[in-house]
Amino acid sequence: MKSRNQLIQSIVSLKIRQNVQHYMEPGIIQNVVNDVFNKEFSRIMNNALKDEATNELSRKPYERHPESVQRNGYKDTTIPGMAGAVTLKRPVIRKGTLKSPLLESLKKAGKGLLATLASAFWLKGTGTRHTAAILGEAFGTRMSATDVSRITNALEPGLKEWENRAVPTDILYIFVDAFYLPVHWRSTKDMKDGFTVKQAVLCALGIDPKGITHELGHLLGDRESDESWGALFDNLLQRGLDRSKVRLVISDEHKGIIGAVEKKLGVPHQYCIFHKMKNVRLMVPSQDRQAFLDNFKDIFWAESRNEAVRAVGVLEGKWSSRYPRAVEIVLRNLDNFLMFMNEPKERWKNLRTSNRAERYIAEMRRRLRPAGTIHSELELTKIIWSVTEAQERGWQTRRAFRPAKEVKPANTNAA
């Protein structure tokens, strides 16, 4: 049988274990830390505010001075903090207002922190209401979607400057593609009504001689017309694109792009092989599809243009009588689908298709999905900027190809 001291010790040990387990539950230990931090922060700041008031009044508490204003207790003041809202006790006086540079600095710091986080959430594609809800809960403050919009509107000049930045002058290859998204346009000044339409977002990427990919520009247009694509190319040219150095434009076989490239750039145009292959698949029954595609790949994955030409003859001789429509699709605009073979061989893999632009657009769609309908060009620009910033960090290391080796000068001193 346990003694009384042993029973007391076992009970105390049990209580300690229970308390430790309780505080180690998810969320509880964080709440305890936050509570301790806020209490200690409040204690330090309250003492600092008291000292500030003493210096301002030039006398200590309870010290009488006939010409000094009397103290009148304290007033609770809440400021946002990293561990939730913090309540401080601000000294007040009977007449007038006591200046407090410290409190003003704390409020500015809290507002600055909220503004920074609100901007970060907004730039990552989080909606204004969701951003306000997250920050309000975290900081214990009242923040509305309007507050987030007001804060993030300050980013507009920087985003406009980014949109109008200079295009690298040594771009060799341009990838273009587009996607559609719902855009809500306001029809009246009071912003109470409007209409939602599907609009095209035209995107252009470029690759420089080092193999680094750059986002060149984008345009929100009603549709993928040659006028819309022409407007995008005009914008790139105005911002410094040197068309004389562009070796290829890579895209799908879209009439609007074809017309704009011919009119505005006048450079060779490589059509995406992947899109041709998808069209061919639809024309060949399943029992012969793989065999047909094998012959198809012999053309566009040939080791040389001569081998590609021979592979074309093989495909025609084997399939023309059975699947004339499929063969016609393979042969249509064949030269434009083989333009990549005029470039260095180590670059062919990245120049056959418009996959580079499509992967970029796929990331854009993923980030736009939570935002739903777009309500302004500014909202679209900030998401494009956010996606581009993340992508360009990866593009610095994941290069499309290695830079061309420098040619060593001849040794003129050789005997």
- Sign (positive/negative) of CA torsion 65, 68, 69, 73? negative
Percentage of the chain exceeding pLDDT 70: 62
pLDDT at 407: 37
* pLDDT over 60 (residue 24): no
pLDDT at residue number 120: 64
- Report the pLDDT value the prediction gives residue 409, as an integer from 0 to 100: 41
Rounded to the nearest 5 degrees, what angle is found at the Cα of 385, between the Cα atoms of 266 and 400?
55
Say if residue 351's pLDDT is above 80. Answer: yes
Better pLDDT: 267 or 4: 267
More confident residue, 94 or 305: 305
Distances (CA, A) of 57 to 49, 104, 250, 379: 12, 18, 74, 50
Confidence band, pLDDT 50/70/90 cuts, at residue 66: low
pLDDT score for 73: 74
Q: Which residues pair with 304 in a beta bridge?
A: none
- Confidence check: pLDDT of 370 > 90: no
Q: What percentage of the chain has pLDDT greater than the value 90?
A: 41
Range from 87-101, 163-177, 272-286, 316-330 carrying the lowest mean pLDDT? 87-101
What rounded mean pLDDT belongs to the chain? 78
* Confidence tier at 33 by pLDDT (50, 70, 90): very low
**pLDDT exceeds 60 at position 140:** no
**pLDDT tens, 146-176?**
766 666 666 677 788 888 999 999 999 999 9
Q: Average pLDDT, stretch 375-398?
A: 83
Q: Does the pLDDT at position 20 exceed 60?
A: no
pLDDT at 137: 61
User: Can you tell me whether residue 41 is helix, strand or coil?
Assistant: helix
Check pLDDT > 90 for residue 101. no
Model confidence at 106, pLDDT cuts 50, 70, 90, reads: low
Per-residue pLDDT at 74 exceeds 80: no
- Summarize pLDDT for 225-260 with one digit per residue, the tens: 889 999 999 999 999 999 999 999 999 999 999 999
Q: In the structure, what pLDDT confidence band is assigned to residue 192 with cuts at 50, 70 and 90?
A: low
Whether 23 has a pLDDT exceeding 60, the answer reads no
Cβ neighbours for 211, distance < 8 A, ≥ 6 positions apart:
399, 400, 401, 402, 403
Give residue 198's pLDDT.
85
Give the confidence band of 313 by pLDDT, cuts at 50, 70, 90.
very high
The dihedral built from the CA positions of residue 29, 31, 35 and 37, taken in this order, carries a sign that is positive
Model pLDDT for residues 82-97, shown as the tens digit of each residue:
445 667 777 776 666 6
Q: Which of 17-21, 27-31, 339-343, 385-389 has the lowest mean pLDDT?
A: 27-31
346 vs 62, 267, 400, CA distance in Å? 85, 21, 10
Reference 270, options 279, 256, 258, 282; nearest CA is 258
Average pLDDT, integer, range 285-292: 94
Query: Pseudo-torsion of CA 74, 75, 80, 84, nearest 10°?
Result: 80
Assigned token pair, 370: 């939570």
| Residue 413: predicted pLDDT | 41
